[in-house]
Chains A and B, each alone.
Chain A
Amino acid sequence: MNTWIQIAYLVATALFILALKWMNSPETARRGVIAGVAAMLVAVAGTLINPAIAVSNYKWIALAIVIGSVIGVPLSWVPLTAVPQRTALSHAFGGLAAGLVGVSEFYISFSGSGMELSSFRAGALCMEVLLGFLTFTGSLMAAGKLQEILPTRPITFRGQNIVNIGILAAAVIGCVALTVNPSYAILFPLIIVLALAFGVMLIMPIGGADMPTVISILNSYAGLSAVAMGFVMDNKLLITAGALDGSSGLILSIIMCKAMNRSFANVLFGAFGQVQASATKAAQKTVKSATAEDAAQIMEQAGSVVIVPGYGMAVAQAQHRVRELYDHLTKRGINVKFAIHPVAGRMPGHMNVLLAEADIPYTDLVEMDDINPEMPQVDVALVVGANDVVNPAARTNKSSPIYGMPIIDVDKAKTVLAIKRSMNPGFAGIDNELHYADKTLMVFGDAKAVVGDLAKHLSGENGH
């Protein structure tokens, strides 16, 4: 029987790797999901035939699976603008599962049954509960901020970093002590409490603009806690699947950090997004504004239009209006492309999913690095709810908090149209020089309403 279990795990591992491999292109990606589902079914089946499971417990396991499915199915129906929250929430569930299994394993070792608690297992157990529980509370905090149940601005206080590092250091020291001598069982609940507290403290000072990175890091932790579980239970499937998840989170967070020109440490401890006290300077500069009708006329004359979406588009749910605008422009033979900044939105790839939802072909979604060389030839750049990712201060102003961050060079286009609710600075509280440039016209109003007006003007003046 044991051989069959191991073969099932082997097959599941191969299928998980294929699932991720097929994600390299939208053409094969859905095959990847099927492989993932198959892998999971094989893994669960291989576990259920384990002779260690008491027959009388199957009904409870079945019940738990049913409850999980009943909760899980509606969770997959959330609107796509809420996908970041859903993702954060499921990281929390993942962390919770790992943490609870870790707690059981630890105390089972002391109850006489189960495997002996060696130093290796004690160390792995510590990592499992540390990562599991900090992912649990951290992800709940992140989900709360994304859902705006909690304040999205960073919450900071004096000595915050010292407190945070102190909590983490205490937890790590506890882990080391327990690894060296697993009989110090009293340390275990302490580590759990510290991990729970650290998760909360870690996310508290993080603002919405940093969420893409933070979600990726939590994704990685959830995977690593599964790896640690694999070490504790001597289960290679847990190790491989967890490692795949861990490396995915790691790569995504590196991409996010690079797209903001910041380090992990800076994201986690930098409390980015506090209001800057530089708004006084803005008052002296003048802004040119235009009505939706003016803007529509300008776009009509253009040969090429690049639309730069940002979180504002998601908030205003403007993606379907953007699609109408896209349709009217392409019908007139105007070349329309979407420029996607890696950190636009609240999680990696957020904008791509929203635009795909609005039926915009993915072949017209262009990455920042590919669109920037073309920018000087672009007639009109239309900024919909994006701010920091198009702020030229990132290239020019050394004192700006976003200096050095790669941006989409909309300021190089011949004309810039920026849709914005008001002249209030964006999320990071940084004034955007783009709005004062000569070639920039501001169109004030709600993104959804303005884009809808643009589309209406472009369709109405067609005359037939």
Chain B
Amino acid sequence: MKLLFLKRSLAATAVLVAGGAAAVAAETTAEAVPGAVQHASVAGIDYVSTLFVFMLATFVGLDVIRRVSRLLHTPLMSLTNAISAIAVVGSILIAGQQHSDYRFNLLGLVAIVASVINIVSGFLITDRMLKMFKRREVAKA
């Protein structure tokens, strides 16, 4: 049963990484396509190393999450909710930079609001739930 689980997780990771690799492949072939947008800053992003980071983070994530107590799956979900609101980083960068059109900043600001809602409510409710989990000794006292 554990083996099956590992196999599925591996397969899922493989699919994701393969997807990324395909995008890199498309990247290299696209350069040959006439009419494609000229990309001056290809050298700016090290695609392969970002994929590396993604792959390793996924493996760490699968391994760490697998050990989470089943008792705590609801708080886990609200905690990861707050963590995935890391999108706030991207939102701040979009909202903060000067753009040719202020509407880009506006979209960024709305994204900040949405992310901060998740950060604040996610962490607070996780803590509220975790406070309720007590051992028997504590419950009696």
Task: Give chain A's interface residues, CB within 8 Å of chain B.
Answer: 13, 16-17, 19-21, 23-26, 29-30, 32-33, 36-37, 39-40, 43-44, 47-48, 50, 52-54, 57-58, 60-61, 63-65, 67-69, 71-73, 75-76, 78, 80, 83, 86-87, 90-91, 93-94, 96-98, 100-101, 103-105, 107-108, 111-121, 123-124, 127, 179-183, 215-216, 219, 222-227, 229-231, 233-252, 254-255, 340, 342, 347-350, 352-353, 356-357, 359-365, 367
Contact = CB atoms under 8 A, between A and B. Distances in A.
Given A39-B83, A47-B88, A75-B120, 14 more contacts: A16-B83, A72-B124, A86-B78, A115-B45, A183-B36, A231-B50, A238-B89, A239-B57, A244-B80, A247-B62, A248-B65, A348-B77, A349-B75, A350-B74
Interface of B: 5, 8-9, 12, 16, 19-20, 23-24, 26-27, 29-30, 33, 35-42, 44-45, 47, 50, 53-54, 57-58, 60-62, 64-101, 104-105, 107-136, 138-139
Given A37-B123, A68-B114, A356-B129, A347 B87 contact: no
Nearest to A37: B123
A115 B77 contact: no
Contact of A359 (B97, B119, B139): B139
B121 A97 contact: no
Given A78-B125, A104-B107, A120-B26, A36 B79 contact: yes
B129 A23 contact: no
Given A75-B121, A96-B114, A115-B44, A247 B37 contact: no
Contacts, number: 432
B119 A72 contact: yes
Nearest to A244: B61
A81 B99 CA distance: 44
Contact of B135 (A21, A50, A361): A361
A71 B108 contact: no
A75 B117 contact: yes
Contact of A219 (B45, B77, B114): B77
